[in-house]
Structure formats: structure tokens, C-alpha cells
Structure 1
Amino acid sequence: MCQCEERMQYALMEIAKDRMILIDALEYELMEELRESGDIQEANLKLDKEKQKYDEDYPLKVVSGVIKVNPDAKGNIKQHITENCKNKMYTTYLEDRRFHELGLVDIVFHSEDVEDDISFSALICSDINVESENERAITAFVAYADLSSFENILNRDFVLSIEKQSENTSNITEQNWKEYI
């Protein structure tokens, strides 16, 4: 019997007939809490009011991981991200049980895709640190301004599963960041 204790982070969740979404374990807990709150709309508004807002003075960071695509997403996801999802605001829901915003400045895709996941490196602007020894990836998704964070979870095409952060990037710029990959 295996002594290792590996925790599952992502699963598919049916939210409507013939509609599945990829969901992070913390997001699943959030959905259960919203459902049990009695007033999903009010609880949802409260979460967005408590969100850690983006600040352009946040430091630049080089991160890497895999892109996990929702099963209902259509078209070429790499092309979609390149054309529509760079220089955008992203949201993540973390262990502190709050949403946090970060900026995706640039992204490159690597050829070593694993199963249906797309390997990437990215330049982000964020106050969030990715702890390498942490078993848990940070799940980030595009934040559309006309939707709440909860609605963005339900309507996203993909997530960035951020697994690592490059060290010693104090002199990083938008021009030289790829040297730190």
C-alpha cells in the first residue's frame, strides 16, 4: 500500500445538464459555502468586496505551470490566450479564502505538453508568491470586469495552474523576463 498522501486539486463538476467545468478544490469549498449561505447573491457580493485588488506597483515575477482547459472550451486555446488573454487581469482564490487579482503581462508555451495540459511560463505582476515546496498550485483565471469572480469561475475556458516561481528575479523587466525561464 502506498504511504504517499497525494491530494487531488482539480476535478470536473457538472453545473448544468451537459455543462462541465474544471474546478479547484478550494473553489469547490467556496461553491458549497455560497450554496449553504442562503443568499448566494449577497455572499458573492461580499466576496468581491473583500477581494485583494490589483496594484500596478506589485513586483514582476516569472512563473510556470500548466494550462488546464475546460472540457467545453472551443477552438485553439493557445491562439485564444495569445490573442485575447495577455495583458489582462486574472483572479485566484487562495487559502486565505479571499480572491486576489494579478496581472498577466506575457506568456510563452512550451512544447512538452502533458496529456491535455499545456506547459507555460509567464510574466505576472502580483503580490502572490508561489512556494515551490507547496504541493498546491495556484489556480488563476481571466477576470472579466462585467462578471463577478464567482461568475468568472463558472464561465472560464481555462485556468493557469501556476506551480513554480523563478528565484532571483530582482532585475526582471518586460524585455528580459524570458532569460529567467
Structure 2
Amino acid sequence: MVVIKKCNALIQNTENRMMLIDALEYELIDNLCESNDIQKASIKIDKENFIYNEEAPLKVVSGVININPYFEGNIKDHIIKNFQKKPFTTYLEDRYFHDFGLVDIEIFDSTDNKEGLPFYALICSEFNLNPESGRAITAFVSYSNLSTLESILNRDFILSIQEQKHFNGNLIEGNWKMLL
């Protein structure tokens, strides 16, 4: 079963567990399943990953947080306590994984959790996160003990990035929220 949420979807796997996935990731998983050796193909993809550089410029992005229906607990607390100052990954239209750092995040309550929780985030990234095709960019936590594919299959939430903000002033961790 597939349930589409904006540019992301919920897909039911063989264990009847729902997974959050976007179109490019679905294409990637479909291609991996067609390969002769999924594990070897997955390792090759991870080797081609663009690794997070802590010296990259700071940027502000906004969007919504989509929560896996199987997640139990307070997602805002979960993200703020566990995933600030952590690397995240996105699979872009160039068909490569790109890492960036989540420096800080501001999560807002929503009356319509079906559309996700709105957020602004300060990230550290060498690439721009402006969706080229009008679709949101899906970003997820990069678990160091899991492959990228395993991280996709086991995520509690995704950042559905809809826009990168542009500022004329000097963007630093201490002032970014005042510029919103």
C-alpha cells in the first residue's frame, strides 16, 4: 500500500511497517532491488556519498517535519534532544546522497499534523537546498552505525525542505532566529 503525502509517500513493507519515502528514494530502492547484490550496490552508493564538511557555510531552510506513523512520543523533544549538531543526508536530483549538518532547529506546533510540523533550521551545507523541480527535498538523520539505505528504511521522521532563505547579513548560530 502506498499513501502519498505531498512529495513524500508512506509505503508498507513486507513486515506491514510503514516507511516514509520520496520519489527519488523510491527509484533508488527499486534500482537496488533489481541489482544482483543489494548489499554490494548499497555499499557502492555510500562510497559515492558527498560527506558533510563542518566548515561549510551556514544556511537557513524551512519546510515541514513528516513523522513516521509508527513513531511513539513527542517528535519535537526527540529531534531537539537527539539530532541537533548531527549530520543529515538528502538524495538530490543528481542521484547522489549529500550530507549536511543540522546546527539548530525551531519547530512550531501545527493544528494540522497530517501536513507535518513547520520548521526553520540552521544548517551547515556546501550545496544549496532550493528545490529545482518544485518538489520538496527530503532529508533524514545519518546514523553512523547504519548504511544510508538502512537509515532510509528505519527513520522516525524526515525534514521535508521546501525553501532555502537568503539573507544579506552575516549569518551565525547566535543570530539566525532574529533574521526570520
With structure 1 as the length reference, what TM-score do the two structures score?
Answer: 0.91
Q: Superposed, which structure 2 residues align to 1:24-173 within 5 Å?
A: 24-116=22-114, 117-131=116-130, 134-173=133-172
What is the letter of the counterpart of residue 160 of structure 1?
Answer: L
1:75-120, Cα deviation, whole Å (9 max, x unpaired): 1111100111111110111111111100000001123454331000
What is the letter of the counterpart of residue 139 of structure 1?
Answer: T
How far 1:169 sits from its partner (Å)?
Answer: 4.8
Stretch deviating more after TM superposition (107-116 or 16-25): 107-116
For residues 72 and 169 of structure 1, do their structure 2 counterparts lie closer, same or farther at Cα, with a shift above 3 Å needed?
farther
With structure 2 as the length reference, what TM-score do the two structures score?
Answer: 0.91
1:56-80, Cα deviation, whole Å (9 max, x unpaired): 1210001110000011111111110
Distance across 2 between alignment mates of 1:172 and 1:82: 21
1:119-149, Cα deviation, whole Å (9 max, x unpaired): 0000000122122664111111011100000
The runs of 4+ residues in structure 1 deviating greater than 4 Å are none
What is the letter of the counterpart of residue 62 of structure 2?
Answer: S
For residues 65 and 113 of structure 1, do their structure 2 counterparts lie closer, same or farther at Cα, with a shift above 3 Å needed?
farther
For residues 69 and 35 of structure 1, do their structure 2 counterparts lie closer, same or farther at Cα, with a shift above 3 Å needed?
same
- Which stretches in structure 1 are left out of the alignment for 5+ residues? 1-6
* Mapped contact 2:131–2:137 kept (Cα < 8 A): no
Distance across 2 between alignment mates of 1:93 and 1:113: 29
* Mapped contact 1:50–1:99 kept (Cα < 8 A): yes
What is the letter of the counterpart of residue 82 of structure 1?
Answer: I
Distance across 2 between alignment mates of 1:8 and 1:137: 8
How many residues are matched? 175
Distance across 2 between alignment mates of 1:180 and 1:34: 42
How far 1:8 sits from its partner (Å)?
Answer: 5.3
How far 1:157 sits from its partner (Å)?
Answer: 0.0
- Which stretches in structure 2 are left out of the alignment for 5+ residues? none
Distance across 2 between alignment mates of 1:156 and 1:133: 25
* Mapped contact 1:130–1:164 kept (Cα < 8 A): yes
